[in-house]
Amino acid sequence: MYSLDYQNKLYKRFVDQRVRKSIFENFSLENLDIEIDKKESFTNVIYIDIYSFSETVSEMTASDIKNYLEEYYSKTLRIIHKYSGRIDKLMGDGIIAMFSPLFDRRMKKKDASNNALYCSKEIIEELFCTEFESKSAIGSGDLYYCKTGLEQVYEEYTAIGKPLTIAYRLEAEADKNQILTLKRTGLSKRILSQEIDMSGWSKNIFTSVLKGLGDFDILSCKY
């Protein structure tokens, strides 16, 4: 997980000044890097990336790819921050973000789950029918946060736990403009009961084998 200083650098680079001002006025991360060390907390992990990224950039120059990704980050990072997400990794077009009461004391577990969904939903809706059409996977559960122990090389925190693995596995299953999450979660129950408004999205359940985890019923929401 990126340090506080590096998180701020990302937002300064990719988020416009007006939105950035709101972020720093209304979402304080002071002392957060200290407070999360050696803590376990309920977390929702989203893994969101561009559908068919390799094909999209196959004819681009390295400079074109850089500009393409920077435009993608400028569209997605502000939405992640809007829902109090914390960036774990940027891996080319892949973005891993975390939503947890650990990062925002006003947030309950239910809020963290809902925010992960709302963030994924807004990103997919905003990028629909553009060159950045995306897909998302959500993993839920407890993560353990700690320092890497490699401060002499780089300063970074790491998170350990099944929600990360679930998000990775589900992302591999996801299709364009689709959000996947396990059916057994409270978030899925709220979606299926229509407590969460998913107007314009089709929903269905399917069973799949997630590598190293077993068989699971998966909820699909497709825009």
pLDDT in tens, 21-71: 443 443 334 444 445 567 788 999 999 999 999 999 999 999 999 999 999
Q: What is the extent of the structural domain holding 59?
A: 4-172
Q: Give the relative orientation of helices 62-82 and 17-26 as an angle to the nearest 10 degrees.
A: 40
Mean pLDDT over all residues of the chain?
A: 85
Measure the CA–CA gap between 91 and 204, rounded to whole angstroms. Answer: 29
CATH of residue 148's domain is: 3.30.70.1230
Within a domain: residue 67?
yes
b/e per residue 112-139 (b: at least 16 CB within 10 A): bbbbbbbbbbebbeebeeeebbbbbbbb
Tell me the C-alpha distance between 87 and 81, whole Å: 9
Q: Where are the alpha helices (DSSP H) in 49-108?
A: 53-57, 62-82
28-32, 61-65, 87-91, 158-162 — which is least confidently predicted?
A: 28-32
223 within some domain? no
pLDDT value, residue 24: 40
In a domain, 203, yes or no: no
- Half-sphere exposure at residue 208, Cβ-oriented, CA atoms within 13 angstroms: 19
pLDDT bin (cut points 50, 70, 90) of residue 12 is low
Q: Please tell me the predicted confidence (pLDDT) of residue 30.
A: 42
**pLDDT greater than 80 at residue 150:** no
Inside any domain, residue 177: no
12 in a structural domain: yes
Q: For residue 185, tell me if it sits in a domain.
A: no
Query: What confidence tens digit (pLDDT) does each residue in 172-212 have?
Result: 999 999 999 999 999 999 999 999 999 999 999 999 999 98
For every residue of 115-134, DSSP letters joined together read: HHHHHHHHHHHHHTTSTT-E
Query: pTM (2 decimals)?
Result: 0.82
Q: What is the pLDDT of residue 206?
A: 97
Inside any domain, residue 46: yes
Higher-confidence residue of 160 and 180: namely: 180
The answer to whether residue 168 sits within a structural domain is yes
Give the per-residue pLDDT at 172.
94
| Domains identified in the chain, total number | 1
pLDDT of residue 184: 96
**Cα separations (Å) of 185 from 156, 180, 191?**
30, 12, 10
**Displacement of CA 83 from its chain's centroid (Å):** 10
